[in-house]
Amino acid sequence: MNRDAWLAALRGEDTAAAVAAATALGVRRDRTAVGSLANALRSVDPDVRRAVCAALGEIADPRAVGPLVSLLRDRDEDVRGEAFAALLAIGHARAGELPLDAFSGEDLLSPSEALTQVVWPTDLEAIAILAAALEDPDPEVRIGAAYTLGRLGITAAFDAMAARLSGDPDPDVRTAAAFAVADLGARGERRAGAVLRAAWDAVGDNDELAVQVVRGLADLGGREAYDPLTEALRHRDERVRQLAAMGLGRLGDPAAVPRLSRLLTDAHRGVRRLAATALGEIGDPLAMRPLVAAVHGNDAEVRATIGAALARLDPAVVQTHLTECLMTPDAGLREAAAYLMGRLGLTAGLRRALRDPDEHVRKAATLAAGQLASGEFFEALVAALDDAAWQVRVAAAESLRRSGDTRAVEALRPHADDPHRVVRNAVGVALRALSGEESPHE
């Protein structure tokens, strides 16, 4: 079908054809079809209205802002969602085209002549519609307007946005305003940090608002952010705690190390992981002990993140601490130290760990030895194939496979008949990788 056929289908009564036509016009980003698409928003069929909203978002023409704002009141929830998404798409697309500095100090409802000389009339009209919509009695409309103005980066809307954040009766509008204030702060509005700081004190039990306020503070940083971010580490919502940890890592203030260290035992894995990342970003040696201690009992993703965090600290200091850990009576700490030596490529004390009385420590040490590029632990890995603990024997076979050293073939073959099925399987995998031979046992 050509453009004329699509426009005709858009006006027709065949719902499927109208939806297909709207989709095609959106894919083509045909700006000449904006008027026809806007008219199609009057369709009685919600499927057509949804498709048209999506198409207008693809085209991202500011002339569609007015019709889309009106659809934020649509009786169909999915239509409202598509209209909202389309407005955000337009805001994102047009933000790069607008001379944002020119809006400073402007009345968006009555722009100066100077502003009209540098901004397209369609953009000015769209922004005026959005500014007026911030006062609309329908909260859905205020939400859409707030998000879109924030995406556009119209700092002239900051005062109105701050007023919505502090005093709008609808909690979802306040959440949208917090998001927009943060966006405007990223575009250079210096008052954003202070406004978000004040908003944090008034968050109450609105978890969604807390998320957006902390997100903004984490992104903007600055001296206003430290206190609320440290307070947010204790928030009941794990999203808030994660964002707070990220923000404190970016701030890089060593004073946050004790608070972030406590999050290494948080109930939520994402919080633990981001706390470890933040401690690595801060790079203070005081983080070393809690990071090492947090390895034991954590999942692989968090353990790897802890390893990456420790890699940002002084390797000599880390090596000394890990070596000391290998001599403690705490088997979990010894296991953590052995694991980290493999992650960090450290060797001092690893031979001791390979002979540790605890099988979990020996397993961690065996895997660590297999991660080291040098062949200095080859004989120790071969010896581990005879360990009393089957987990250690599995680790030895896996480490020999990873080493790529073909000398391991002769050492592995006698263990193809190991009494434990998992060991036999690991040995078989290693043999196939190193020699191409098929193991007699799977």
- Say which residue, 242 or 92, is predicted with more confidence: 242
Task: Give the count of alpha carbons within 13 A of 350, CB side only.
Answer: 27
Q: What is the pLDDT of residues 25-52, one digit of tens each?
A: 999 998 999 999 999 999 999 999 999 9
pLDDT for res 118: 52
pLDDT for res 107: 65
Task: Give the count of alpha carbons within 13 A of 134, CB side only.
Answer: 27
Q: Which two tokens stand for residue 165?
A: 């954040």
- Separation between Cα atoms, residue 283 and residue 256, nearest integer Å: 11
Q: What is the pLDDT of residues 179-224, one digit of tens each?
A: 999 999 998 899 999 999 999 999 999 999 999 999 999 999 998 8
pLDDT for res 125: 86
Q: What is the pLDDT of residues 53-78, one digit of tens each?
A: 999 999 999 999 999 999 999 999 99
| CA distances to 47, 67, 329, 373 from 10, in Å | 12, 16, 76, 65
Checking if the pLDDT of 106 tops 90, the result is: no
User: With a threshold of 0.95, does the pTM exceed it?
Assistant: no
- Tell how far CA 382 is from the center of its chain: 42
**What confidence category does residue 115 fall into, taking pLDDT thresholds of 50, 70 and 90?**
low
Checking if the pLDDT of 439 tops 60, the result is: no
Q: Which residues, including other chains, have CB under 8 Å from residue 367's CB and lie 6 or more apart?
A: 339, 342, 395, 398, 399
Checking if the pLDDT of 250 tops 50, the result is: yes
- Separation between Cα atoms, residue 394 and residue 409, nearest integer Å: 15
| C-alpha closest to that of 214 among 228, 204, 201 | 228
Q: What mean pLDDT is predicted for residues 266-276?
A: 97
Q: Which stretch of 109-118, 231-240, 427-436 has the lowest confidence by average pLDDT?
A: 109-118
Checking if the pLDDT of 369 tops 80, the result is: yes
Q: What is the pLDDT of residues 283-333, one digit of tens each?
A: 999 999 999 999 998 999 999 999 999 999 999 999 999 999 999 999 999
> Average per-residue pLDDT in the chain?
92
Are 334 and 328 a contacting pair, CB within 8 Å? Answer: yes
Q: Which residues, including other chains, have CB under 8 Å from residue 317's CB and lie 6 or more apart?
A: 285, 288
| C-alpha closest to that of 171 among 207, 126, 123, 128 | 207
- Separation between Cα atoms, residue 386 and residue 5, nearest integer Å: 77
Are 58 and 26 a contacting pair, CB within 8 Å? Answer: yes
**What confidence category does residue 103 fall into, taking pLDDT thresholds of 50, 70 and 90?**
confident
**What confidence category does residue 114 fall into, taking pLDDT thresholds of 50, 70 and 90?**
low
Checking if the pLDDT of 109 tops 80, the result is: no
pLDDT for res 181: 97
pLDDT for res 123: 76
Checking if the pLDDT of 337 tops 70, the result is: yes
pLDDT for res 440: 43
Q: What mean pLDDT is predicted for residues 409-425?
A: 95
The count of residues in the chain is 442
| C-alpha closest to that of 138 among 110, 101, 170 | 170
- Separation between Cα atoms, residue 78 and residue 68, nearest integer Å: 13
Are 439 and 416 a contacting pair, CB within 8 Å? Answer: yes
Percentage of the chain lying above the pLDDT 90 cut? 83
pLDDT for res 104: 73
First to last CA, the chain: 59
Task: Read off the amino acid at residue 270.
Answer: G
- Separation between Cα atoms, residue 280 and residue 201, nearest integer Å: 29
Helix (H) or strand (E) holding 382: helix 378-384
Q: What mean pLDDT is predicted for residues 347-360?
A: 93
Q: What mean pLDDT is predicted for residues 10-16?
A: 93
Which domains does the chain possess?
Answer: 190-282 (1.25.10.10)
- Separation between Cα atoms, residue 87 and residue 81, nearest integer Å: 10
| C-alpha closest to that of 313 among 263, 243, 254 | 254
DSSP letter assigned to residue 168: -
**What confidence category does residue 120 fall into, taking pLDDT thresholds of 50, 70 and 90?**
low
